[in-house]
A = this chain, B = another copy of it.
Amino acid sequence: MTGDDGGRPRPAERIVELGDFAKLDVDRMARTGVPEVVFAESKTVEQTFAALEGLRRANPSSPALATRCPQPVLEQAVRYFESDEVLVDEVARTLTVGPLPEPIGRVAVVCAGTSDLPVARECLATLAVLGVGAVSVTDVGVAGIARLFAQLDTLRASSCVIVVAGMEGALAGVVAGLVAPPVIGVPTSVGYGVSAGGLVAAAAMLASCSPGLVTVNVDNGFGAAAHAAKIVKTAYSMRTADGR
């Protein structure tokens, strides 16, 4: 047998070159369910705007998203893009350009403390771009666990639960032991001393004794939202397929 993708016809993947610094993977949405997104932290304002425009041109009906935007990107965006196209979240440091799709499903984004809010907001901005509904629950860390119990119905009624927590990251395991939907832990870099940088929260989530808890990189709200969106879309595609 041959290892190449062989006989099966596969549509060629489009690649859009931007100068000599980028090759946009504009069919990533079709291929993986999540579009290419601009990680703006180490890019110039010009590179970020060029990438967003390139993504918009290739897929005019979909919004384009930039995450981890430095302050200048957020400030200049409102002048550079059409005002009815652009959406800036200063806390999440996200920039969205283009019309948001109609949301399906509902993902609960749970946040352990006030300091974890920026990461939770990056989740929310990403879910909006991916067309998935969301509900936000904040400041329910384990030091005062009654706050979490008061929100359990909300979590149990969701298709997926994202838990954003820094320091020892215990909230993710506690939630995973209490609810039925798939739970994704997002460790954050909130902490100091042994927990500075978020590695302890990440390790604690990986080590959790609560079955089925999965984890993404520290502060990676985008990644958790992408996984959640895939879960919701898989469920909807199964429903649709079945419905026929």
| Interface set of A (CB-CB < 8 Å, partner B) | 1-6, 8, 10, 12-15, 17, 20-23, 25, 28, 31-34, 36-37, 39, 41-43, 47, 105, 112-115, 117, 136, 138-147, 149-150, 152-153, 159-160, 167-170, 173-174, 176-184, 187, 189-220, 222-224, 226-227, 229-231, 233-236, 238-239, 242-243
Contact = CB atoms under 8 A, between A and B. Distances in A.
A138 B22 contact: yes
A227 B212 contact: yes
Given A3-B144, A114-B47, A203 B206 contact: no
Q: 8 smallest A-B Cβ distances: which pairs?
A: A3-B146, A193-B218, A25-B144, A2-B12, A212-B226, A195-B207, A235-B235, A170-B170
Contacts of A144: 3, 13, 15, 23, 25, 28, 36, 177
Contacts of A2: 12-15, 146, 150
Contacts of A220: 193, 206
- Tell which of A168, A218, A242 has the most Cβ of chain B within 10 Å: A168
A218 B230 contact: no
- A-side interface mostly: mixed
A203 to B, nearest CB: 4
A197 B41 CA distance: 15
A142 B47 CA distance: 21
B239 A217 contact: no
